[in-house]
Structure 1
């Protein structure tokens, strides 16, 4: 007489071969060296303190006006060149653009007094001048990603250098909305939440603090990255992408104390950029001064920078040529997937002075 177990149908069948492959990949991953990143050929053009200006020559130059990338101060910019198959920079050089990238570097305690205004006036402005001289051109295209887009927009509003095009992606401009837990955002706006005492001690926002901050903003419940790895460890393509993304996610950069105070007080709390009150030295960063061709890109799945934080720049600038695009992507996925290169090329190709064949 057959006996039926009461648990029949409740416990799913297990694909033992798949499980063995999954766990074998996990153990292999934990013992392997870190993946190589930033493999696109480049040369150093200029250096100041910890910052470096990198030049990536076009494989076969097709456009006269080069692209100058400005990335966030929170993270390392190699997300733009993280994998040869999806590298934003490699794709653009293959398309015929000369590319420059300003790598802010890793600040230490001795850099605690470097503010956003100093980064813009002493670093970005000089780096753009060097890129223009190095490429022997009369104009340049500025490309800012995330907070790098905010910095690029501020610079463009006071720049004397010839900026032909301004491209900003996933860019926070209007800080009247702060992404994150409601009480946390309310406390920040009211000045109840401050880390100025911590900055007085450390001089910089420690990398671990930066990581925790992004976790709090990105998701109320945090699951370790290894949970998603374990779930899909049998998929080698996913594992390769996960390794690079995990390295970048954990490779946070310290944020200088003065820059963080300006970001927190002047931009996030007082929203001075939208009001035209943010100062760079003795100059007001009035976005209405921007006349360059403007391209703004948002991600519909971006949970760090919302559309209503980016879109206001469209009405604040004086540009006659303005384009806004919202794509199906998250904040990092836009760069990680490599799709950003194609989006930039589609818009910039007709605005970059194609060289005659």
Structure 2
């Protein structure tokens, strides 16, 4: 296996934007649109398993999935024989201010999925979504005709009826006592610092514990390297367009349209019961950002015959890789369906 890995690294090195030693799994640029890029991470010893198409959150950068060798979800997948495709939405500018969730789903995800199917020469796909990227994945799966065989949703908010935070603001929003659209529309694109501040208020208002952990393990070179990369990710949020912010506020939080089946994408009604793919929903018990009561209701909505939920310990950034390998529960579920 080691020889296979070295041969694969050598073969793929010509495609790398950054050296493999910096923790980026070899990848090929397949397609671009505006700020977005579709990346292909070729499998080691490809064994015709169903390709994996990853949709990450709109507010965080996806490099957390390829943090460094031995701590990379993408590396674990390709080492296991899976071709991996990732849609990286990039960072929106002011010119993108009117882009909505609907635009991301119809103009980016749908087109990237079609490009993936053609490039992989396959007639089925595993779609894996993280957090808000999982919400986009569920929306897309509800309206697409693409052959999605498996759908995996990590810490994905679906039911916004009971807000886990800012409950007074949400109550005022639903009563019509808050007009957040005026500010959001005026600013056009919410800066990354605003996004970070909002998440900090919910998860870590006082950001001290990570530094204490670093101090206690300052002599552990591997830990320090991983800490620096992870810390860069936690501070590397992505700006949010006013179009997306308004849809999250109005359609998801205020009106809970996903659960009601009234969310619309370019004239198509998003009904979760249209989802028939094999479904795996993953949540974590200690998640303050997306608690289980926002995640689990999708299980009662979809029409999938094969559907499972798996609850992990830990918080929102609970990893999907263990010691450089796919966790046993995920490996068993995915391999038997690929």
Q: TM-score, normalised by structure 1?
A: 0.84
| In 1: Cα distance, 2:41 partner to 2:174 partner | 41
Unaligned runs of 5+ in 2: 1-19
| Equivalent position of 1:54 in the other structure | 39
Shift of 1:150: 0.5
Q: Give yes or no for contact 2:170–2:253 (8 Å, CA) kept in 1.
A: no
Shift of 1:209: 0.2
| Equivalent position of 1:350 in the other structure | 336
Instruction: Give the counterpart of 1:164 among 143, 149, 159.
Output: 149
| Equivalent position of 1:325 in the other structure | 310
| Equivalent position of 2:293 in the other structure | 308
Q: Give yes or no for contact 2:76–2:325 (8 Å, CA) kept in 1.
A: no
> Helix, strand or coil for the counterpart of 2:310?
strand
1:97-139: per-residue Cα shift (whole Å, max 9, x none)? 0000000101000001110001100110000000000000011
Q: Does 1:197 align with 2:164?
A: no
Relative to 1, partners in 2 of residues 1:269 and 1:246: Cα closer, same or farther, differing over 3 Å? same
Shift of 1:169: 0.7
> Helix, strand or coil for the counterpart of 1:315?
helix
Shift of 1:236: 3.2
1:298-355: per-residue Cα shift (whole Å, max 9, x none)? 1112111111111111110001011111012321122476788324322110111xxx
Q: Give yes or no for contact 2:49–2:81 (8 Å, CA) kept in 1.
A: no
| In 1: Cα distance, 2:323 partner to 2:289 partner | 19
Shift of 1:194: 5.0
Relative to 1, partners in 2 of residues 1:85 and 1:187: Cα closer, same or farther, differing over 3 Å? farther
Relative to 1, partners in 2 of residues 1:206 and 1:193: Cα closer, same or farther, differing over 3 Å? farther
> Helix, strand or coil for the counterpart of 1:156?
helix
| In 1: Cα distance, 2:179 partner to 2:325 partner | 35
Relative to 1, partners in 2 of residues 1:337 and 1:106: Cα closer, same or farther, differing over 3 Å? farther
> Helix, strand or coil for the counterpart of 1:323?
strand
| In 2: Cα distance, 1:331 partner to 1:221 partner | 17
Structure number with greater CO (CA < 8 Å, separation at least 6) is 1
| Equivalent position of 2:259 in the other structure | 274
1:179-237: per-residue Cα shift (whole Å, max 9, x none)? 22443443444454554333223311110000000011114544374344334424433
Relative to 1, partners in 2 of residues 1:217 and 1:336: Cα closer, same or farther, differing over 3 Å? farther
Q: Does 1:145 align with 2:130?
A: yes
Q: Does 1:122 align with 2:132?
A: no
Unaligned runs of 5+ in 1: 1-34, 353-357
| Equivalent position of 1:10 in the other structure | none
Q: Give yes or no for contact 1:88–1:338 (8 Å, CA) kept in 2.
A: no
Q: TM-score, normalised by structure 2?
A: 0.88
| Equivalent position of 1:5 in the other structure | none
> Helix, strand or coil for the counterpart of 2:119?
helix
> Helix, strand or coil for the counterpart of 1:121?
helix
1:22-58: per-residue Cα shift (whole Å, max 9, x none)? xxxxxxxxxxxxx975510000111000000000011
| In 2: Cα distance, 1:315 partner to 1:270 partner | 19
Relative to 1, partners in 2 of residues 1:231 and 1:187: Cα closer, same or farther, differing over 3 Å? farther
> Helix, strand or coil for the counterpart of 1:40?
coil
Q: Give yes or no for contact 2:23–2:66 (8 Å, CA) kept in 1.
A: yes
Listed as ranges, the matches of 1:1-357 within 5 Å are 39-193=24-178, 195-223=180-208, 225-335=210-320, 341-342=326-327, 343-352=329-338
**Bigger-Rg structure (1/2):** 1
Number of matched residues? 318
Q: Give yes or no for contact 1:143–1:149 (8 Å, CA) kept in 2.
A: yes
> Helix, strand or coil for the counterpart of 1:351?
coil
> Helix, strand or coil for the counterpart of 1:84?
coil
Q: Give yes or no for contact 2:69–2:324 (8 Å, CA) kept in 1.
A: no
